Amino acid sequence: MDKQVDIIKATATDANLKSYEEARSSFDWTEVEKEFSWYTTGKVNMAYEAIDRHVEAGLGDKVALYYSDATRDEAVTYGQMKTNSDKFGNVLRKLGVAKGDRVFIFMPRSPELYYSLLGSVKIGAIVGPLFEAFMEQAVRDRLEDSQAVAIVTTPALLPRIPVADLPHLKHVILVTDEFEAAPGRVDYKNEMAQASEQLDIEWVDREDGLILHYTSGSTGKPKGVVHVHNAMIQHYYTGKIVLDLKKDDVYWCTADPGWVTGTSYGIFAPFLNAASNVIRGGRFSPQDWYNTIQRHKVTVWYSAPTAFRMLMGAGDDTVNQFDLSSLRHVLSVGEPLNPEVVRWGLKVYNQRIHDTWWMTETGGQLICNYPSMDIRPGSMGKPIPGTDAAIVDDNGNVLPPNRMGNLAIKTPWPSMMRKIWNNPSKYEEYFRLKGWYVSGDSAYMDEDGYFWFQGRVDDVINTSGERVGPFEVESKLVEHPAVAEAGVIGKPDPLRGEIIKAFISLRAGFEPSEELKADIAKFVKIGLSAHASPREIEFKDKLPKTRSGKIMRRVLKAWELGLPTGDLSTIED
């Protein structure tokens, strides 16, 4: 790992985090806790701290949300956010939804999504955000596992919710102008129009459930990662020192709230810091995106490597058609951020792109680059003050600098997941090395304490920053009538980081063809979700399996990459 590192010097002089080393040496989370009203009142609720508190402090007319898509363009103040989330809390209460109940939100971005989410939090419900691209199987798995009692959705997505098979799901709240009554259906607009603006907020314990994000591992169905209200400490603090949010910032996080970045840093961190939060609905387009920055004079922008690579692909000329001079701080998360993208960002935006590392399970940012710290392009940065990261071997021994191993975080930290829903043994696996959370990523740390991502230890796929479990895709594939067996891997891709590639052996009577490939891909797309559908399919007569019948993805990957297949002693034949 002997390499020439280039360094992009820090130039920010007025960053919230003045000196990384100094902050680390004297850090105390209690000092951060003092920023919250509950430090004195003892009354806790994330949504109160994120919204209501600012209204009480006189920021009621400040814009909380700039929302736009192809058909809407709205500014919502903190005062309006409070009113609308209070009303939604009352809508849920009237339905009998109570503290600890799971309320799912399954719809495209819209102001109503944010009212519903914050309103649910206000009554102490545990929110389950679902990405709008999920199809029936994905929706079913999550609603079944969590035993959700209510879901907020739109008529377009309704057919993907197998209501008849989900007896615990009592209320389907529809956001629409054309409501059609049916048993269990609730008219969002009508109920909101009638709901009281006075809500008795549910004061919860710091350790009570806040949000449930489903995410994938290499085996089994997606697991429900539970975060608690206490996470606000880290959301607030990283919003301050990593996003570097200040009073007048207009902040834009491009992630969808169906994923953890879209909630921790698309809702909680910006609102806790009283920023004006830009939400852009609809699909990616370089022009739309740059226009969003130009129109709203976005100052802090948090996006992802695949998006930056696509913007790079759209060319420097596209950048030059817009006035992006409002930008003062740019960040990235979700996948390895290529050094050439960092260099390109410096050239065209005149901004350093600050990589940040964290996971659904960590709830908040952990290893980051800060405005006041030098950047080493290709490195994820250094652990936030108040936390420790290390590279450990499989027995939990800390490895010296420049040795590759398991990226681990010293437990606990404020936004750490508190359980896996219904699955305590899965939870414990993460903490199997005493005192450490084992991330599943491999990395090394250089002699100056910068962390460098190397890959996943397991078979989890990261395609365009979205985490996909091969098992989920394989399970769907084998439901196709032509498929006998399937093995799924992530294949390196210059744009998307990885793409999903499926190796398939066919049932007797089926012949390989391009039509069949297309049909199989479509089957996954319609049944599970577009982002989980294989972009490449290769038919094989046989797949490599262990003697116990497990498909050996590592051999598939070696085939794909033209690498030696390693130890095959456990292979079937």
Contacts of 406 (CB under 8 A, 6+ apart): 391, 392, 393, 394, 433, 438, 439, 440, 441, 442, 457
Cβ–Cβ < 8 Å for 440, 458: yes
Select from 214, 199, 238 the least CA-distant residue to 118: 199
Nearer to ligand PRX, 204 or 367 (CB): 367
Contacts of 544 (CB under 8 A, 6+ apart): 487, 551, 552, 555, 556, 565, 568, 571, 572
Nearer to ligand PRX, 170 or 496 (CB): 496
Minimum Å distance from CB 466 to ligand PRX? 7
Nearer to ligand PRX, 228 or 253 (CB): 253
| Residue 248 phi, psi dihedral angles, 5° rounding | -100, 20
DSSP one-letter string for 219-285: SSS-EEEEEEGGGHHHHHHHHHHTS---TT-EEEE-S-TTSHHHHIIIIIHHHHTT-EEEEE-S---
Minimum Å distance from CB 29 to ligand PRX? 21
The CA distance from 350 to 300, in Å, is 13
Bridge partners for 537 per DSSP:
502
Minimum Å distance from CB 265 to ligand PRX? 8
Using DSSP, how many helices (H) and how many strands (E) does the chain show? 20, 26
Nearer to ligand PRX, 255 or 506 (CB): 255
Structure tokens at 357: 């590392």
Instruction: Tell whether residue 357 is a contact of ligand PRX (CB under 6 A).
Output: yes
The CA distance from 74 to 67, in Å, is 5
Contacts of 105 (CB under 8 A, 6+ apart): 113, 116, 117, 120, 127, 128, 129, 130, 151, 152, 153, 257
Instruction: Tell whether residue 215 is a contact of ligand PRX (CB under 6 A).
Output: yes
Instruction: Tell whether residue 462 is a contact of ligand PRX (CB under 6 A).
Output: yes
Across 409-443, b (16+ Cβ under 10 Å) vs e yields beeebbbbbbbbbeeeebbeebeebeebbbbbbbb
Instruction: Tell whether residue 355 is a contact of ligand PRX (CB under 6 A).
Output: yes
Instruction: Tell whether residue 523 is a contact of ligand PRX (CB under 6 A).
Output: no
Residue that has been written with the tokens 């975060």 in this structure: 227
Nearer to ligand PRX, 149 or 300 (CB): 300
Residue 414 one-letter amino acid: P
Classified as helix, coil or strand, 515 is helix
Among the listed ranges 97-105, 116-124, 148-156, 329-337, the one in contact with ligand PRX (CB under 6 A) is: 329-337
Q: Please list every residue from 372 through 411 that binds ligand PRX, using CB under 6 A.
A: 380
Nearer to ligand PRX, 336 or 386 (CB): 336
The CA distance from 552 to 407, in Å, is 24
Nearer to ligand PRX, 284 or 322 (CB): 284
Instruction: Tell whether residue 467 is a contact of ligand PRX (CB under 6 A).
Output: yes
Cβ–Cβ < 8 Å for 412, 438: no
Nearer to ligand PRX, 221 or 467 (CB): 467
The CA distance from 328 to 258, in Å, is 27
Among 251, 308, 444, 453, binds ligand PRX (CB under 6 A): 453
Nearer to ligand PRX, 84 or 263 (CB): 263
Cβ-count burial of 274 within 10 angstroms (0-12 exposed, 13-18 middle, 19+ buried)? buried
Instruction: Tell whether residue 439 is a contact of ligand PRX (CB under 6 A).
Output: yes
Minimum Å distance from CB 381 to ligand PRX? 8
Instruction: Tell whether residue 441 is a contact of ligand PRX (CB under 6 A).
Output: yes
Minimum Å distance from CB 125 to ligand PRX? 23
Among 185, 343, 426, 456, binds ligand PRX (CB under 6 A): 456
* Residue window 34-73: x/- pattern of binding to ligand PRX, with contact defined by CB under 6 A: ----------------------------------------
Cβ–Cβ < 8 Å for 371, 17: yes
Counting other chains too, the contacts that 28-31 makes at CB distance below 8 Å and 24 or more residues apart are: 28/386, 29/233, 29/386, 29/414
Instruction: Tell whether residue 358 is a contact of ligand PRX (CB under 6 A).
Output: yes
Q: Closest residue (Cβ) to ligand PRX?
A: 360
Minimum Å distance from CB 332 to ligand PRX? 7
Select from 337, 336, 249 the least CA-distant residue to 301: 249
Cβ–Cβ < 8 Å for 273, 233: no
Instruction: Tell whether residue 238 is a contact of ligand PRX (CB under 6 A).
Output: no
Instruction: Tell whether residue 256 is a contact of ligand PRX (CB under 6 A).
Output: no
Alpha helices in 467-561 (DSSP H): 470-477, 514-527, 553-561
Among 243, 245, 324, 359, binds ligand PRX (CB under 6 A): 359
Nearer to ligand PRX, 341 or 380 (CB): 380
Minimum Å distance from CB 357 to ligand PRX? 4
Secondary structure percentages of the chain, helix, strand, coil, to 5: 30, 25, 45
Minimum Å distance from CB 114 to ligand PRX? 20
Nearer to ligand PRX, 254 or 261 (CB): 261
Nearer to ligand PRX, 55 or 359 (CB): 359
Among 333, 375, 477, 521, binds ligand PRX (CB under 6 A): 333
Among the listed ranges 156-164, 237-245, 411-419, 436-444, the one in contact with ligand PRX (CB under 6 A) is: 436-444
Among 141, 335, 472, 474, binds ligand PRX (CB under 6 A): 335
Among 360, 387, 406, 464, binds ligand PRX (CB under 6 A): 360
Nearer to ligand PRX, 188 or 436 (CB): 436
DSSP one-letter string for 286-337: HHHHHHHHHHHT--EEEE-HHHHHHHHHT-HHHHHTS--TT--EEEEESS--
The CA distance from 121 to 44, in Å, is 11
Nearer to ligand PRX, 16 or 215 (CB): 215
Instruction: Tell whether residue 266 is a contact of ligand PRX (CB under 6 A).
Output: no
Q: How many residues bind ligand PRX (CB under 6 A)?
A: 21
Minimum Å distance from CB 416 to ligand PRX? 13
Among 51, 107, 195, 260, binds ligand PRX (CB under 6 A): 260
Nearer to ligand PRX, 20 or 451 (CB): 451
Instruction: Tell whether residue 334 is a contact of ligand PRX (CB under 6 A).
Output: yes
Q: Contact positions toward ligand PRX, by CB under 6 A? A: 215, 260-261, 333-336, 355-360, 380, 439-441, 453, 456, 462, 467
